[in-house]
């Protein structure tokens, strides 16, 4: 069982307000080691500097979107096992299937709250303590 306060999470979203809200929600869950990036290229730079226990990424972003970030992570020998939760504003089954084929571990539909995100994280990492 992972300990929430010891988890390192990378939030990737092109909107600073969404990154802030997600950070706040993670803090409500007990996760305080949070780094953020405004697009996929920035996220890859962060991932190559230090490991993260989880990536929570928006789908639609400029520079490099969440799907391309996911595919790049899955193709990288050192990063490919990094748990990845995709965040999207669209509850479209074809998008979910596309993300699943690319190797996403879970997905969250916006808007979401602490209970929803915690459930999604626990489905990926196991029960948080």
What are the tens digits of pLDDT across the range 28-67? 999 999 999 999 999 999 999 999 999 999 999 999 999 9
Tokens 């995709």 found at: 86
pLDDT at 95: 87
CATH number at residue 45: 3.40.50.2300
Could you give the number of structural domains in the chain?
1
pLDDT at 1 over 80: no
Domain-located, residue 83? yes
Helix (H, G, I), strand (E, B) or coil at 84: strand
Whether residue 19 has pLDDT greater than 80: yes
- Enclosing H/E stretch for 67: helix 66-75
**Token output for 13:** 């979203």
* Residue 93 pLDDT: 85
- pLDDT attached to residue 91: 79
Dist. CA 116–CA 38, nearest whole Å: 23
Other Cβ atoms less than 10 A from the Cβ of 5: the count is 12
Residue 129 lies in a domain: no
Residue 103 within a domain? yes
- Torsion angles phi and psi, residue 70, rounded to 5: -60, -50
pLDDT digits (tens, 9 = 90+) for 6-18: 999 999 999 999 9
Q: Check pLDDT > 90 for residue 90.
A: no
Give the burial class of 113: count Cβ atoms within 10 A of its Cβ; 0-12 exposed, 13-18 middle, 19 or more buried: exposed
Q: Is residue 110 part of a domain?
A: yes
Separation between Cα atoms, residue 34 and residue 107, nearest integer Å: 19
- Is 74 inside any structural domain? yes
Say if 100 falls within a structural domain.
Answer: yes
Average pLDDT of the chain is: 95
Give me the domain span that covers residue 87.
Answer: 4-123
Is 93 part of a structural domain of the chain? Answer: yes
pTM: 0.96
Residue 87: which of 46, 121, 63 has the closest Cα? 121
Q: What is the pLDDT of residue 72?
A: 98
Look at residue 89 and tell me whether its pLDDT is greater than 90. no
């Amino acid at each position: 069982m992972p300990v929430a306060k010891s988890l390192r999470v990378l939030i990737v979203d092109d909107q600073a307000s969404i990154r802030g809200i997600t950070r706040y929600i993670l803090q409500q869950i007990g996760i305080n080691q949070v780094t953020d990036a405004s697009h996929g290229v920035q996220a890859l730079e962060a991932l190559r500097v230090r490991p993260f226990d989880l990536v929570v990424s928006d789908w639609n972003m400029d520079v490099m979107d969440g799907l391309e970030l996911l595919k790049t992570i899955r193709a990288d020998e050192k990063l490919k096992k990094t748990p990845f939760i995709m965040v999207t504003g669209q509850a479209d089954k074809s998008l979910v299937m596309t993300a699943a084929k690319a190797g996403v571990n879970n997905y969250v539909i916006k808007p979401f709250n602490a209970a929803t995100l915690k459930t999604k994280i626990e489905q990926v990492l196991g029960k948080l303590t």
